[in-house]
Amino acid sequence: MWNEKYKDNILTFNNPRDCFAIAQLMLGQSLNTEDKSDWDAAADLLIEQNDLLQGRVMDEVFNKMGGGNAAIAPYYAGDYYTMLADNPDLAFAYPKEGFNIFVDSMCVPTGVQNYDAAMMFINFMCEPAVALANAEYICYTSPNTEVANNPEYSYYKDEILYPSDDLIKNAQYFHDFDSEIREYYESLWEKVLIS
């Protein structure tokens, strides 16, 4: 991601939390550090990368990587399979420095007008056949053991979606920050973007 050999062929995230995480992992920091000097060091590393980047992207990564218009991009593991369908020359790797583990969730807002219907929908999505169809469609890890342990599941024992303990030993979860730290890294992000 900082190799000059790939200048103008490197994409990275266009959001501060994910982008800072890459720099933090390279620096050996916790993804949940509250030490502002850690955030400063990560921002400096991201600024160093600016001249090498083709761009900062989010969903644009699908067209860029699927079309072979960039060489390197960090992105979410499940989306790799979506891009692979468009470009069989793509490869996936977990960085040795580590990565974050993320969890998508189905949530019911406290002010929902029809709580029972919301719960019925979530229960429906947890039905083994429905959960399997959903996991096959979105290409993401399923927490449903009826899916994960199903030999008919396309991603059964898949090392990308279900990495081994050895692969995830350096993985970290994002924690929420208080407003002071959030505002601090968001102000650093603005500096990264204009530098």
181 and 156 within one domain: no
178 and 86 within one domain: yes
**Mean pLDDT over the full length of the chain:** 95
Give the count of domains, the chain: 2
Question: Could you report the per-residue pLDDT of 128-165, keeping only the tens digit for each?
Answer: 999 999 999 999 999 999 999 999 999 999 999 999 99
User: Alpha-carbon distance 185 to 24, whole Å?
Assistant: 12
9 and 65 within one domain: yes
**In sequence order, which ranges of 50-138 are alpha helices (DSSP H)?**
60-66, 77-86, 115-126, 128-138
User: Alpha-carbon distance 73 to 184, whole Å?
Assistant: 26
Q: Which residues pair with 42 in a beta bridge?
A: none
Give the phi and the psi of residue 100 in degrees, each rounded to 5.
-95, 150
Instruction: Tell me whether residue 195 is in a domain.
Output: yes
Instruction: Give the pLDDT mean for 172-185.
Output: 96
User: Alpha-carbon distance 183 to 40, whole Å?
Assistant: 13
Q: Which two tokens stand for residue 181?
A: 């730290």
Q: What is the pLDDT of residue 101?
A: 92
For tokens 């067209």, name the residue.
63
pLDDT at 102 over 90: no
HSE-CB at 10 with a 13 A cutoff on CA atoms is 15
115 and 194 within one domain: no
Instruction: Tell me whether residue 165 is in a domain.
Output: no
Question: Could you report the per-residue pLDDT of 29-58, keeping only the tens digit for each?
Answer: 999 999 999 999 999 999 999 999 999 999
pLDDT at 10 over 90: yes
Range of the domain at 78: 1-99+170-195
Residues 6+ apart with CB under 8 A from 128: 144, 146, 147, 150
115 and 48 within one domain: no
93 and 17 within one domain: yes
Instruction: Give the pLDDT mean for 59-70.
Output: 95
Residues 6+ apart with CB under 8 A from 163: 94
